[in-house]
Amino acid sequence: MIVSAVIWTVVLLDLAALHAAWAARIWLPLGDEAATARAVVGTPGIEKMPSPILCGAIAALLALLATLPWWDFFGLARAALLASGVVLALRGVAAYLPAWARITPEQPFRKLDRAAYGPICLALSLLAFTIGGAM
């Protein structure tokens, strides 16, 4: 369980750092706002990233989720991990659904979603269920 918890924490902190960079209007890794928006949001005709407040809120949420394996307060960490596992599984499966493809048709998002974002969400879902189930 320790290895799973470390992997969970490192991956989510990396994702939190990336969202924090976007909140600071640093367009990693592509260097351009429109290119980054097309790669990570994917809605039709997108040219602008979500607001700094939204990116910052996601960064904070990801950082909080990263800490879940390391604390427990009346079983809340376990419940939060299992709930996160459900959300991540749904997001991971969505990458392969035609309805989601219609909502997010922009390239390169469409390709990246099936090749990377969906599988990452599914892997994180498995980690969440593994860690939450062991608590």
Q: How confident is the prediction along the chain (135 residues), in pLDDT tens digits per residue?
A: 899 999 999 999 999 999 999 999 999 999 999 999 999 999 999 999 999 999 999 999 999 999 999 988 778 999 999 999 999 999 999 999 999 999 999 999 999 999 999 999 999 999 999 999 998
Measured distance CA(8)–CA(63) in Å, rounded: 11
HEC letters along 17-34: HHHHHHHCCCCCCCCCHH
Contact 128, 74 (CB under 8 A): no
Longest dimension (CA), the chain: 46
Q: What pLDDT shows up at residue 129?
A: 97
Contact 114, 98 (CB under 8 A): no
Q: Which two tokens stand for residue 83?
A: 């709930």
For residue 130, report the phi and psi dihedrals to the nearest 5 degrees: -65, -50
